[in-house]
Each structure stands twice: as C-alpha cells, then as structure tokens.
Structure 1
Amino acid sequence: MRRNQHKNLMNGLSAFLCFGLLFLADIASAQKATWIWYPGDYEVWLSNKMQARRTERGSFLPPFWKLDSHYALIEFHKDFELASPEKVEIYADGQYNVKLDGKAISGYPHSLDIPAGKHRISLKVFNQGNVPAIYVKGPHLVSDNTWETTFEDKEWIDQSGKTSDISATKYFPAGSWNLNDPKTPPSAFSLPTKEQSAVSKDKKEHSIFVDFGKETFGFVKLIGLKGKGKLSLHYGESKEEAMSLEHGELMDPMDVNQDSKTDYIMPGSRAFRYVNIVYDDNVSLDDVSMLYEYSPVEQRGSFKCNDEEINKIWDVAAYTMHLNTREFFIDGIKRDRWVWSGDAYQSYLMNYYLYFDSPTVTRTIYALRGKDPVTSHINTIMDYTFYWFLSVYDYYQYTGDKAFIKQAYPRMQSMMDFCLARRDKDGLMEGLPGDWVFIDWADGLSKKGEVSFEQMLLCRSLETMGLCANIMNDKAAAVKYNAAGAALKKKIFAYYWNPQKQALVHSRVNGKQTDNVTRYSNMFGIFFNYFSDTQKQEVKKSVLLNDKIQKITTPYMHFYELEALCAMGEQDYVRKQIKDYWGGMLKLGATTFWEEYDPFKKGAEHYAMYGREFGKSLCHAWGASPIYLLGKYYLGVKPTAPGYKQYSITPNLGGLQWMEGSIPTPDGDIKVYASTKQLKIEGAAGTGLLRFRSQTNPMCSQAKPVSKGNGWYELSIEKGKKYTIDYQELK
C-alpha cells in the first residue's frame, strides 16, 4: 500500500495535522496512545483499497458486491478526571475542531493545556477521502478504545444559545488497531517489505526466467533496466503458467524509456513463484529480485511429531496461512485477493492455533459486514452470511473480548433481520434472486429448493444471536432468537432426516424430500452436536465413511469433514486422510496448499479451474486447515469458557508415537507433549482440564489424576504449573 496524499483541502490545510511538543518527562509516564476512528470505518476503507487491487492480465477486476464507505464526519469524546494539570498533543487525519467542557477552542490547536479536575474533551473530524481519525497523547489522557464516537451527534442550539440536553445519539467505543505512531496516520499504513533474491535465473537474449524457489508475494524489482521499448512480466504459480504468455492469469506490460541503467520496482504486488520477463531488442536488463510483502504477525503455535510428512504438512500449511494473512484474511494471493466470508471463517480458526492475532480477525469481520442498510448477503452468498454470525461468537469464545461484541451486536441484529425476512412460507431459507447458494465447488451439486445445509447454518446463527444477546443483557432478544433456533432445529429433523438413509437428505423441492444425500449438512450436524449419539454413528457409517456419497475435492470442505470425524474420535483415520490429501499435493511439488486438489488429475490439469488453464489458486487460505485440526483434535486444546478462563486438553495421538506443540491463548501459550507412555502439560491460561485414557494407573507427582471410569482420567491444570504424567495409552 502506498501513502495517499490529500488534495483540495479547505484553507489549504493538510489533512494530516501533526502538532505539539514532546516532553521527555511526560514520555516516561505516558500511557499508550493510539489512532482511533469510528468502529468498522477504517476496516471498510482499507478493505476497499485492498480488494480494488485485483487485476487479470493487466485489467482492473473489482468485487461484484456492494462496497460501503466510511462516514465523513465523526465526533470523538472522552470524559476524564485529572489529579493535576497536563498538556496533551493533538493529531488528526482530516480537518477538525476541539472542545473542552463544551467550549470551542479557536483555531486548530496542536496542543492543549488542561487543568486538574473533571472534564470532557470533544473533537470533530471531517475527511471525505480517508477515514477521520485522531491521536491524543498526554501523561494520562490518551486516545484509545475507551473514547466514544458517533457519526451524528443530533445536538442543536435554541434561540437563547442553550445546547439541547436531550439526544437520541448512539455512541460506540472507538475502533483502533496497533497504529501507534502519531506521525503515520491510518491512511498511510502499508505492510512491511524485505528484499529477497531468486534461487535461479535463466537469462536469454530477450528474456529472463526467474525462479524464487517457492510460492511468494510482493513487488518484482528490475535491476539495471535500460533502453526504449516494450517489456512484459508474466507471473506463474507454476512454471507452465509463467511460460504461457497468452493464458497466464497475471501479467504486467510496461513501456521502457531509460537512457541509463536504473532499478525499477513494479508498482503492483503479485503472487508468483516464477516470473518470465520478456523484452524488445532495444531493452536490456541485468538482474531481477523482489520485495517480499508480509504481515508482521507472530507465529506462536507449533506442532511436531514422529511423522516427518505430517511435520512438513504443518509447516507448509503455516506458510500458506502466512501468505494469505495480509491486512485482512484473504482467500488466495494470486487471483481474487478479496475478503470472502467462508474462507475467512476458516482462517480465523486456524489463526487461533497459529498466531492468535485478534486485530486481523476483527478487521476482517468488520470489513465483511460493511454498513447498514443490508441489501444482500455477505459476498452475495447465503451460507457466507451465516459463517459471519458464527465467527463473531467464536471470536468471543477464544478471546473473551466483550467490547467487540458490544460494537458488533447492532450489526448482527440488522443482518439477522435481513435473513429472517427472506424465509419462505415454511420458515426456511431458499435462494431468492440475487442470492448465491454456494456450499462448495462440486460437480452437479444441486442448489435448488430448500437446501438442508443452509437451514443448519441459519439454526446455528440464531443460537449464536441468542448467546450474544445474553452477553449484551438483551434478554427479550435472547428469548426470541433461542426460540427461533429451537423451532428451526425441529423442522430440520422433521423435514430432512430420512431413517432409511440414516442421514439428512440434501434438500426439499416443492415441499418434498429429494433422494440425494450429501456430506455437508450431515458432517456439520456432528460437530454442531445436533445429532444424538446413535444418529452420529449412523451418519458416520452411511455418509462420512461411505464412498458412494459424492466425495469432497476442496480443502475447504475437507476441513469440516475431517473435523466431524475427529469429533467422533477418528483421529487415526483422519491422520491417513491428511497424509493422502495434503501429502498428495506435496508429492506434486506444492510449496503452498491449493484451492482444490483431485488426485485423479494429471500434469497441467491440476492448474485449471473456472474454465481457464491456470485459473486455480495454488496458495489458498482454506488449504491450511491441518493447523486447526492438529491443534484442536490431536494436541486436543480448546477453550470451554471465554478467553481460555477454562479450557480442556484431550490429547489424541491418532496413531502417532509422539507429538508436541504449543497453543496460543490471550495469557500465554499452553504447551503439550504426548507419547504413548507420557504426557507433559504446561498451563498458561486460566484453569485447564486434562482428559486422557490409560491402561494402567497413571502417576503424576504434581497432582493425582482422578479416575472417571472406562479408562478415562482427569487432572486439573493450574496456571503457570508444569505436569508430567506417566501412563500407558489406551486406544
């Protein structure tokens, strides 16, 4: 991202006003200040800029859904009390005014002397081009998310000059990120870069073919460029794509007009492993490198085991996830580079076991939701709207961040109102004009009628609304949402469960069950815990382990299929599936995981999709799901109370001899080691509950495991303590 410059601002002012003096004594005692804005506005603005970067063969290709914009005028205020006078610095991105205790301060003050006592400071900021934002810094008064914001203050002054004391204004806690440099406003944010060299180059008279060794992302740097003529860059995730001058997805043409040698950095970031640079007779080029662009997230999660192929799969999954973690969680780095809700929902879950980077989660959730009024499903896809609801509560469960629920809840309500208004006469969701019922990429998959999968996701979304309403103490709404969810769950089993097929059928058309059974609603019913224990076993046999049911070929839905099997204790089977599926891509030379993989395809067939020779993404976020599966279902760690105040650890080797890893939480990393004879646990969060099975009486010097019958034992894990348990694995 490149710095934007404001133009045509009133009175010739710069939109970014940096003022004030730094006092060393204040710096030592100052609290942390950060840039703040109206919640969701910066996320919407930034996502618009990012998603508008997509090109195909040099042509602009924008998203096909509604893009919202930020509010141009925002009021910020903070009520506070000072024990002693202090001076504060004021920075703003846009034109602004300042009030202290309701009295306007003349001009554009860059600093303000505030006496001791109780006060209210207010700033109004206007910025049509970028997001109105402020940065306030004093020894005690600082801008952070304790400030309140609104886009309409609904205040007025009567003929006597009195300001109204009755207002319908709705205020929200300010939005923020970790943008803490007062001299770099949010509108100037860009991801960092670092220079990297190619691993090999094949230079010919009119071309250089460059291999960077693995999938990567950034800006190509042309070194020693000289001459006058045409030059074109042809990017490829595969060698075949870079060599195909006519059919490669990404290419950049340029006119060269350089009398002397110069180094030139391409203005647009691209995904590639290979770059084929072709140029005219009168153009010369000495060398090629790149500026690798990346998100500076910290990798906290880890996983190692005795199976080196599994280790390689985890490492490649982590690299795939890192490439697709940018300003937001995106789908893939080559083609769309858009924020898709279904893709992002899986990225959030992987993130909780790899980075635990909350800001990227909340930015993405905000960007996807956009603004009211709601006029379509998120990304126009019905199921993607429902994933969005699920993501909000999942975020709360992993982080315990109630402040975000407070900000998101009104947007959840209006989004749910939109969904419920689109139900048919039977209270079910059916695709209406403008609705994309996606589910998965699968040949011949019917989207007609009332699809059971969509009802499952709506039901879970209603339950999520009930949970969030309770967090907000909105008891009437909680009752409404929970009742609607319970009623829909009854309909799902009344309308779709087929006792002869021992499964939920795929859909209803004209009020009648279809004969088709697919994996989707059945596997979700398992980890949603909608089925009885008997039904779970029936579904596992009749659907999940039944080769006659249409197989899944995308990592996207393999994620959920394998999660359902793990939830039923089938880790040994899932381990083999991971090795076959993700290991199959590695055997074909993959350095990142793909959008889709069909082991029956040959050669360049693997690169084709969407009717295009190289349409498939070979670095897709949803390909990184082993991170989540190995963390949650093998190391066995998951929160059971918001923010890991309580959590469970249920290691399952699944046929491995040993494994070890760390799981990030808000309060540190939980460390797990498990072999067939020993467990080692180190708790870093609230209170954990270790559950394991042993053939023998387990021994632990730090605490006594409690027998729960049938070979199961439990042990309470306290924060900051290490435990070693000697046992004998019972499968």
Structure 2
Amino acid sequence: MSAHAQTKATWIWYPGDYEIWLSNKMQNRRTDRGSFLPPLWKLDSHYVLVDFHKDFELAAPEEALIAIEGQYNVRIDGKAVSGYPKSVTLPSGKHRINIKIYNQGNVPALFVKSAHVVSDSSWQATFEDKEWIDASGKTSDLSATVYVPAGSWNFNESTVLPSAFHLPTEPMKAVSKEKKAHSIMVDFGKETFGYVKLHDVKGKGHITLYYGESPEEARATETCELLDRIEVSNQQNADITLEGSRAFRYVNIQYDDNVSVDDVSMLYEYSPVEQRGSFRCSDDQINKIWDIAAYTLHLNTREFFIDGIKRDRWVWSGDAAQSYLMNYYLYFDSPTVKRTITALRGKDPVTSHTNTIMDYTFYWFISIYDYYQHTGDKAFIRQTYPRMQTMMNYCLGRRDKDGLMEGLPGDWVFIDWADGLSKKGEVSFEQLLFCRSLESMALCANLMHDGKNAAMYNTLAKSLKAKLFSYYWNPQKHAFVHSRINGKPTANVTRYANMFAIFFNYLTDAQKQGVKKYVLLNDNIQKITTPYMQFYELEALCAMNEQSYVLQRMKDYWGGMLNLGATTFWEEYNPAVKGTDIYAMYGRPFGKSLCHAWGASPIYLLGKYYLGVKPTAPGYQQYTIEPQLGGLQWMEGIVPTPNGNIKVHCSGRQIQVSADSGTGTLRFKSKTQPVCNEATIKSAANGFYELTIQKGKSYTVNYTAA
C-alpha cells in the first residue's frame, strides 16, 4: 500500500491486546464490602513483546515523530537506529520500518506520524519472529511468522497514552440529605455510578460510607453490598474524593465524634456514547419504560458492556450478547461491541468455556455474525475468525458419544436463574445454541473464503439439528422436552429451547403455533422471572405477531418495577415477592442488582418488532420496516444504522418513513387500498403491501391498519 493513502495517525497495538488488558483492569475493580473480589475465570494477558512494520514509498525524505509505550528499537531496512529516538528520518524510495516494543506492565503501543507515513491498521504486527541466523550471520530467507493488521481505537494524539485511558466524569449533586450528629444520608434521586466526594472534612478519625440502591440497603450497615472506610488525619476543610467508583442511589456516611463532614456530592462516571435511537408512542407508561431502559443500558455501558453496576461489574457473555442487540437500536456503537467480544474471547489455548458457562460460549459465537449483519464490518470477522476456530475446536472436542454437549467437570450450565431448573444430562437448550453457533461459524467461514471449513460446519449443524428433533421433539406435547438423561428424553417441558427455536426459525408454522399455545401461553409451564429470559420469550412472541400481548406483558413486568419506585431495571423481578424481600438474591438480603443490563430489552423489542426495523443484508445495505402498533394509537422513532438513521412514524391511518442509506422494504397490512405519492405500492403475499424505500427520500403512506 502506498503511504500516500494514509493521513491520520493513531496509537496501534497487537489486535485484541489492549481490549484484554483494559478488561482485566476494569474487572478487577469489584469489591465486596471493602474486600477485593476478582473474576471467577482465567484472565489472559497482552503479549509483552511485539514487532510492528510498515512498507512505504516516499518521493522525498520525511521526518517521522515516534511515541512509544515501552522499551523499543527502530530499524530501517533491517538496520538499527541507535538509542531511543523520538523522531527518525524516513528515506525516499521504497523501504520498510520496523519497531519492536517490550512492555510487561502495559500494552506495547506505537504512534508514528510523518507527512505521509502514519501508524494505523495498515501496519503489520506479530508477537513472535520465527527467524533464525546461520553461523555466517545471515538471516533466514524463509519465515513462518504470522503478521496481522495492527489494532487501534481512538487515541489519535501522541500525548494521549492508551495506558492512561479513563472514562470521563462530571460533578453531580444529591437531591436531598438528612444530616444528624455523626452521619449524613444522601439521596441522588436515581440510581447512579461514580465517585463520592466529601466536602469540608475536618478533624481526625474514621469515616465509613454505606452504599445502597435502596434506602434500606444504605441503612443496613451489616449487610449492604458495598462500603468504603477511610481514615482522615487532622484535616482542615478538605475535600476528599473516594478512590473507588461505586453504584448507588443512597449513601449513608457515618463518622467519628471528632470528625465532621459538611456536604456530599459525586463525580458521575460515564461512557461518552451518543444516543442515536429514540422511541415515543401514545402510551405514557411505555415511554417511561423505554426511557428507564435507555438509562439502564447507559449505566452498564462502560469501557465494555457489563452485567450490572453494583455487584459484578464484569463482562459476562450472556449479558453482553443482549447489550449488543439493545445497542444496535440505541447507540449503534460498534467499538464497544468489538471490545467486549474480543475481551470475552481472550487468547489461545482455550481451557474453559467463556466465563466457564457453556451457553455463554455459544452466545459469543452467535453474536459475532450478528454483529456483521448489523455493521457489515468484515475486517472484524477477519481478525476474530482464527480465535472462533480454536474456540469451536474446544467445543467439538467436548461432545459426548452422541455428538451432543453435556456439562463436564468445570462446566457451568447456566440457562437462567430459575428454581429447580435441571441442568443434568444433555439439555435441549444447549444443543439448540450449539447448532446456531455452528451455523454462525459456517457463515463466517464463507466470508473468509474458507470453503472447506464452511462445508464442515454446515454438515455438523445439519446433523445436530436433525438430532435435536429426533431426540427432543415430542409431538404430543407440541414442544422440545428439556433434556435427555442416560440416552432417554425426559418428560419435562421448559420454555427455553422452544422460544429460541421460533426466532431461530427452526420450526414449521404449525410447530410454531403449537409452541405458542402449549408452551409460551401455557401457565402450567414454569414461568420466567428474569428480564434476561423475558427478553427472548417476548422476542419469540413478537416474531409470531403477538405485539398486543407483549405490550401488556411489558406494562405488567417492567411497569411493575416502576410501580415499586425503580429508576433502573433489575436483575430479577417476581411480582409475587413483597416487602424488602424484593432486594434479596443469592442468599443475601441486598444481593440483587437493581441496575442490570439485561433489564433494558424493551429498547430492542420496540425498535425491532414495533417500529419493525431490521437489516436483511450486512450493514443495512438492505433492510425491512414492518411496523406493528400492537394496540398503540401511534408510535415514532429513530433506528440508527452504520451510515445514518431510519425514521418511522406510524398511526392507524398513516405511515411515514425515511432513511439515510441502504435500500429498504416497507411491509404493512391495510383494510383499504393504500396510497403513496412518492412510490408505487405493490401487493404481496398474505394480504401485505410493500414499497421500496430509497435513501434520502421521505415517504408517506395513507392506509387503514388491519
């Protein structure tokens, strides 16, 4: 590549290394009542020695600025430049620059900038030089060194060091405070996240802060999940900002007799993502649900998509997979998705499932092709595909004699938080996710022109799908049974495999109707009480045009949390539980997270299944808009895409749409002949009408909702 094609310099590193390093840093901030609580799984590290090179061609010599994180050497055409140069002269003509960096503590990173040669993804990187030298000193002509395009993010100045990255903060005041002799109880008005700041601290002694997502938790000094203890020494009107970021709405600050604290505020910490999506409708409660869902996702969008801000603050694959989908309808922030997927995978060799959870490994595979469908970002698939292959090899090596996945020692078969849910034997839900993972592998293999492996993954997927139906499908129950134990199917039916099979489109129309009637709308089948699996259950129902029913479910379930004063959505909600027991989980009175990413799914449901917008070709080159009011009088919203937005307004009599890019198909039903002055409306199957949406144009359809 000619150096003239590049103009913008950015810090670069071995791809994936910065994401792994940053996730390690973030996930090890968790505390439990003041004690360090690290993740439960293996953490990988960055490569400590990385070689970068770039071939360039210049018409005249240029001076290049060099900034490095680590110890380094610079070579031009194999000849070393002495010392640690801050700049280097690049000669005219065709040449190669190599920079090798060692850094044990932080990620080896590089910034180069001249008029025509800049550090960017066109540079090649490797973590091992497979070279050798003979007795004469000659370097080998052959090498097995694998070079890959360098990774980067948005550090575009030589002085902006990647290792110094931190999220921005802004001051925020409490909305109320209750001051007593030796304590202050403050309320910030809603769930929030950041660093507490104590104002005008005087004296010598101890201060203890008890954090609470509820007032009960902040007052429960023996059982609240989070606390901080600090010692002050002869302070005179000092302001103290706590070192650790915490989640809270309420803070109970208690201090010794000879200490005083005048006031309390906070530094709110946030990810500077741009909210591009929106939704409004005729139902005020649904509008509030959407707003609270958006705020919930915002709080859990940090350096990565995390599960919840109070307790774990870790990157869990099952939680993150849902955050990606919500993100596509709220921010469309691709970098956070890529960072999270990369951090979750870690490095070879694979020694366990993702987060040690079998189903979380499968969500990881599925999310990658789904990312491509939304973004069209083939470069990320190219970067990730080798680690997809080694991860899949690990899974294939753990199949039993029937070719199925069963929990082995060290595997956590999670599925969902549900009382009495059996994880024994070969669970149908795991086979279903495994099958979808193999299909995703085949699609990515085709993108990488790896026909041999694409054929293998497709063959494995078809075989597993056939076993899914022959081993688990029970025609009398109109459903997949939950599991097989010792080669025999159990009689138990649960919702999980059945609802996923609907939106995976594994079932015939008749089978889908049977599942809907005998499983999803059957109160005798164990109900789901987590927003985590409500997400998928409601998606299955929406995929079967049950928007009116789902709207009421959203109002009952998420509205139920709002009725209890929720300012963010919870990890779990059971309407039957009353009093302070609503805060309990994991055997702890305040163990439940009241701000959990998987609680924000209305963003996704309302964008995809009510506004009805979804990509049908990678990166929204093609898409459909199929609005469904579901009992609403009207609705309007914006769905972000890689190259602009799609706007939809829909009432019972008119649909208005416009899009900034791609080619769309608007599909709808009408009791009367619809009229559109901007395009030709065509009749389609099953009473639908369709018209083509071109970029940059606005369309108004007058119709009568069927």
Distance, in Å, in 2 between the alignment partners of 1:409 and 1:710 is 40
Once residues 103 and 721 of structure 1 are traced to their aligned partners in structure 2, the CA distance between those partners, rounded to angstroms, is 58
Q: Give 2:520's aligned residue.
A: 544
1:629-660 CA deviation, whole Å, 9 max, x = no partner? Answer: 00111111111111111111111111111111
Distance 2:207 2:704 in 1: 66
Residue type at the aligned position of 1:54: R
The one of 511, 520, 524 equivalent to 1:535 is 511
Structure 1 match to 2:410: 434
The code of the aligned residue for 1:491 comes to: K
Q: Structure 2 residue aligned with 1:153, among 129, 141, 144?
A: 129
Greater shift, 238-247 or 716-725, is seen at 716-725
CA distance in 2, matches of 1:350, 1:84: 50
**Residue number among 172, 183, 191 corresponding to 1:207 in the alignment:** 183
Are 1:188 and 2:141 counterparts?
no
Instruction: Report the equivalent of 1:525.
Output: 501
Match of 1:174 among 138, 147, 150: 150
CA distance in 1, matches of 2:686, 2:618: 30
| Residue 184 of structure 1, CA deviation | 2.0
Q: Residue 604 of structure 1 aligns to which amino acid in structure 2?
A: T
| Number of aligned positions between the proteins | 702
Cα deviation digits, residues 122-160 of structure 1 (max 9, x gap): 110100010000011122211111211110021223233
**What pairs with 1:60-75 in structure 2 (closer than 5 Å)?**
60-75=36-51
Alignment of 1:588-603 (within 5 A): 588-603=564-579
Q: Distance in 1 between matches of 2:178 and 2:383?
A: 54
Aligned residue number for residue 252 of structure 2: 276
Which of the numbers 288, 291, 304 marks the counterpart of 2:267?
291
Contact kept? 2:201, 2:235, Cα under 8 Å: no
Deviation (angstroms), 1:162: 2.5
Q: Is the 8 A contact 1:37 1:132 kept in 2?
A: yes
Q: TM-score, normalised by structure 2?
A: 0.98
Displacement of 1:627 in angstroms is 0.4
Residues 654-669 of structure 1 correspond to what in structure 2 (within 5 A)? Answer: 654-669=630-645
Choose from 489, 492, 498 the match for 1:516. Answer: 492
> Aligned residue for 1:6?
none
Task: Write the deviation string for residues 512-554 of structure 1: whole angstroms up to 9, x where unpaired.
Answer: 1101000000000000000011100010001000000000000
Question: Structure 1 residues 116, 251: closer, same or farther in 2, change over 3 A?
Answer: same
User: Distance between the aligned counterparts of 2:346 and 2:89, measured in 1?
Assistant: 38
Q: CA deviation at 1:208?
A: 0.3
Deviates more, 1:588-597 or 1:642-651: 642-651
Alignment partner, residue 198 of structure 2: 222
The residue aligned with 1:12 is none
CA distance in 1, matches of 2:79, 2:674: 71
> Given residue 605 of structure 2, which amino acid in structure 1 is its aligned partner?
L
The corresponding residue for 2:115 is: 139
The 2-side partners of 1:713 and 1:40 are apart by: 46
The partner residue of 2:401 within 417, 425, 440 is 425
Are 1:30 and 1:139, in contact at CA under 8 Å, matched by a contact in 2? no
Alignment partner, residue 544 of structure 2: 568
Alignment match of 1:621 (pick from 597, 600, 622): 597
User: In structure 1, which of residues 601, 604, 608 is the aligned counterpart of residue 580 of structure 2?
Assistant: 604
Query: CA shift at 1:261, angstroms?
Result: 1.4
One-letter amino acid of the counterpart of residue 47, structure 1: S
TM-score (norm 1): 0.95
Deviates more, 1:468-477 or 1:173-182: 173-182
What do the CA deviations read for 1:221-260 (whole angstroms, capped 9, x no partner)? 0000111111100000000000001000001111111341
Among 633, 636, 654, the alignment partner of 2:609 is: 633
Most deviating of 158-167 and 289-298: 158-167
Partner residue of 2:23 out of 47, 51, 57: 47
Q: How many Å separate the matches in 2 of 1:243 and 1:75?
A: 54
The corresponding residue for 1:584 is 560
Q: Deviation per CA, 1:59-107: give whole Å up to 9, x if none.
A: 1111110011111000111223234432221111001111122222111
- Of residues 119, 124, 137, the one that matches 2:95 is 119
Distance 2:685 2:47 in 1: 60
The residue aligned with 2:648 is 672
CA-to-aligned-CA distance 1:45-66 (integer Å, 9 cap, x gap)? 1111111111111111111100
Aligned equivalents of 2:621, 2:133: Cα separation in 1: 49
1:198 corresponds to which letter in structure 2?
A
Query: Which of 436-445 and 58-67 deviates more?
Result: 58-67
For residues 290-439 of structure 1, the aligned pairs below 5 Å read 290-439=266-415
Paired amino acid for 1:613: P
Aligned match of 1:25: none
Aligned equivalents of 2:54 and 2:582: distance in 1?
Answer: 57
**Structure 1 contact 235–272 (Cα < 8 Å) conserved:** yes
Task: Report the equivalent of 1:22.
Answer: none
Task: For 1:449 and 1:130, locate their aligned partners in 2 and report how far apart those are by CA, in whole Å.
Answer: 43
Cα shift readout 1:29-59 (whole Å, capped 9, x = no counterpart) = 9822111111111111111111111111111
Could you tell me which of 444, 447, 450 is aligned with 2:423?
A: 447
Shift of 1:709: 4.1
**Residues 236 and 250 of structure 1 are in contact (CA less than 8 Å); yes or no, is this contact kept in structure 2?**
yes
Q: Secondary structure at the match of 1:385?
A: helix
Aligned partner of 1:20 in structure 2 is none
C-alpha distance in 2, partners of 1:621/1:83?
53
Which of 677, 682, 689 is the aligned partner of 1:706?
Answer: 682
1:726 Cα shift?
1.0
Separation (CA, whole Å) in 2 of partners of 1:80 and 1:714: 52
Q: 1: distance between equivalents of 2:63 and 2:285?
A: 60
Matching residue's letter, 1:624: A
- Correspondence 1:256 to 2:232: yes
Aligned to 2:461: 485
Q: Which residue of 2 aligns with 1:681?
A: 657
| Structure 1 unaligned blocks of 5 or more | 1-28
